[in-house]
Amino acid sequence: MRIFKFGGASVKDANGVRNLVKVLEAVGHEKIVLVISAMGKMTNAMEEVIDAYFNEESQLDDKIQVVVDYHKAIINDLFEVKNHDVHHKVNKLIEEFRGFLMWNKSPKYAFVYDQVVGYGELISTTIVSSYLTEIGMTNNWLDVRELIKTDNSYRDAQVNWDSTEQRVSEKVEPAQLNITQGFLGSDENNFTTTLGREGSDYTAAILGYCLNAKSVTIWKDVPGVLNADPRHFKETQKLEQISYREAIELAFYGASVIHPKTLQPLQQKEIPLHVKSFVHPEAQGTTVGKGKKIVPEVPCFIVKKNQVLLKLSSLDFSFIVENNISDIFKMFHDYRLKVDLIQNSAISFSVCLDNKFSGLKSILPELEKRFKVTCHEDVSLYTIRHFDEQAVESVLNGYDVLVEQRGKETVQLVVK
Ligand SMILES: Nc1ncnc2c1ncn2[C@@H]1O[C@H](COP(=O)(O)OP(=O)(O)O)[C@@H](O)[C@H]1O
Ligand SMILES: N[C@@H](CC(=O)OP(=O)(O)O)C(=O)O
């Protein structure tokens, strides 16, 4: 079997859905599992619904209406028949999460988030599946929550591999075109869980692993994995081949084209991962697999914006060593601050953090009880793999370098 993942960008409108069909016609549509994300930016729109529910209830209906209108426009464009069954199916899903929000008693944000946010994926797969059926492509729609079982760490659920493997092998039809949602799973009480934002790549890898797939392909709006994010760098080069190890390194440092958790299950079974253009499905793309580290061998640039640099110094000139470093790391873990870089000297300790769960405000007073704290917000972290001096120079242009760290293959620069 082959696993195909189509992200939000690929199904952002009716033409995107038609193009998905063209891709399937070009590369075959049997013995496939299609993993599809929410359409366009609908996960962000669902997050706004949840935020309104918790913080500004007067906005709730308007926020839900944005989701309704977006999908309705796509359905009206795709289906000629006015009262096509797809309207009924999508309305039912919308009423499901509206009803949940009406009756919910749980004050727990992460739990409520997971029960609601995934309707983006449930709706998108319902629309795509109905469209495929309409044009004569028989398909098997699967609720991924019945396949992928996880613990109950809402918003960052961990997969229970044994029961997932068993369910996947029972429910996926190996000879057919199967279609299911990315990003979601369910816990032992059958509540919906999510695998973390942008987690649909990981879903494709989980299914690939459980089905011993021949390959996993992520269809993108770019020709493959580039040596830098084209939104931040003018000149980029496509990488032809990357080893699993190198791809894991790139994803770890923040190359957002592949979700970091995706590589590990594939590497374990040596399943190749193709990143290909949904505009030119016949073109080669990038293959992540066994073999050469990186082809061509060029510097790879990764930038993370809006990071925080904290410098902690002891108040009494005592050393910062194992015991206080372990306390500091426990605090970062508790406040969900992701550590991107560390540098320590005898009496100080610098750390570049990702504040995506907004833990910074709460941790600062805690740290200030024990250390002198200097905090630079809104810094950028540049990582260059396989760097040379020219590559380093090219990213510096006028920035102030706050921290520099060099290894044999990687240089990291925190700049303001
Ligand atoms: N190293 C990279 N190579 C290719 N694309 C990259 C890279 N880093 C960031 N991107 C960006 O990732 C985008 C595709 O990801 P995304 O929009 O999240 O797609 P999807 O919705 O399909 O998951 C590309 O349009 C590109 O701008
Ligand atoms: N829809 C989810 C999961 C995902 O992976 O989406 P995409 O494939 O569009 O990045 C998100 O936006 O986080």
pLDDT digits (tens, 9 = 90+) for 195-220: 999 999 999 999 999 999 999 999 99
Residue 42 has pLDDT above 80, yes or no: yes
For residue range 253-267, what is the model confidence (pLDDT) as tens digits?
888 888 889 999 999
For the CA of 227, the closest atom of ligand 1 is 1
105 pLDDT band, cuts 50/70/90, is: very high
* Ligand 2 near 277 CB (within 6 A): no
For residue range 146-191, what is the model confidence (pLDDT) as tens digits?
999 999 999 999 999 999 999 999 999 999 999 999 999 999 999 9
For residue range 360-398, what is the model confidence (pLDDT) as tens digits?
999 999 999 988 999 999 999 999 999 999 999 998 888
> CA 355 from chain center: how many Å?
17
Per-residue confidence (pLDDT) for residue 321, from 0 to 100: 73
Instruction: Give the chain's mean pLDDT.
Output: 94
Q: What is the C-alpha separation between 101 and 280, in angstroms, rounded?
A: 42
- Ligand having the closest approach to the CA of 42: 2
User: What is the mean pLDDT of the segment spanning 297-322?
Assistant: 88
Instruction: Report the top-level CATH class of 2-220.
Output: alpha beta
- Ligand having the closest approach to the CA of 118: 2
Per-residue confidence (pLDDT) for residue 356, from 0 to 100: 79
- The residue among 160 and 335 whose pLDDT is bigger is 160
Q: What is the C-alpha separation between 18 and 21, in angstroms, rounded?
A: 5
* Ligand 1 near 12 CB (within 6 A): no
Domains in the chain: boundaries: 2-220, 300-415
User: What is the mean pLDDT of the segment spanning 312-330?
Assistant: 82
Going from the Cα of 281 to the center of ligand 1, the distance in angstroms, rounded, reads 16
Q: Distances in Å between the alpha carbon of 18 and those of 26, 37, 194, 230?
A: 13, 16, 28, 26
* Ligand 1 near 142 CB (within 6 A): no
Q: What is the C-alpha separation between 158 and 193, in angstroms, rounded?
A: 9
- The residue among 319 and 75 whose pLDDT is bigger is 75
Per-residue confidence (pLDDT) for residue 349, from 0 to 100: 86
Per-residue confidence (pLDDT) for residue 316, from 0 to 100: 80
Topology of domain 300-415, per CATH? VC0802-like (3.30.2130)
For the CA of 199, the closest atom of ligand 2 is 5
For the CA of 224, the closest atom of ligand 1 is 4
Q: 293 burial class (0-12, 13-18, 19+ CB within 10 angstroms)?
A: middle
Question: What are the φ/ψ torsions at residue 349 (nearest 5 degrees)?
Answer: -150, 120
73 pLDDT band, cuts 50/70/90, is: very high
317 pLDDT band, cuts 50/70/90, is: confident
82 pLDDT band, cuts 50/70/90, is: confident
| Residue ID of nearest Cα to ligand 1 atom 17 | 9
User: Using alpha carbons only, what angle is made at residue 273 by residues 272 and 279, rounded to the nearest 5 degrees?
Assistant: 135
Q: Is 311 helix (H, G, I), strand (E, B) or coil?
A: strand
| Residue ID of nearest Cα to ligand 2 atom 8 | 7
- Ligand having the closest approach to the CA of 218: 1
- Whether 2-220 shares its CATH topology with 300-415 is answered no
Please give the model's pTM, rounded to 2 decimal places: 0.91
Residue 58 · residue 48 · CB < 8 Å: no
336 pLDDT band, cuts 50/70/90, is: confident
Residue 322 has pLDDT above 80, yes or no: no
Complex ipTM over 0.90:
yes
User: What is the mean pLDDT of the segment spanning 224-246?
Assistant: 94
| Residue ID of nearest Cα to ligand 2 atom 10 | 198
Alpha helices in 223-377, H assignment, sequence order:
244-253, 263-268, 322-334, 360-368
Q: What is the C-alpha separation between 338 and 334, in angstroms, rounded?
A: 10
Residue 357 has pLDDT above 90, yes or no: no
Q: Which residues of 322-344 are buried (b: 16+ CB within 10 A; e: fewer)?
A: eebeeebeebbeebebbebbebe
Residue 318 has pLDDT above 80, yes or no: no
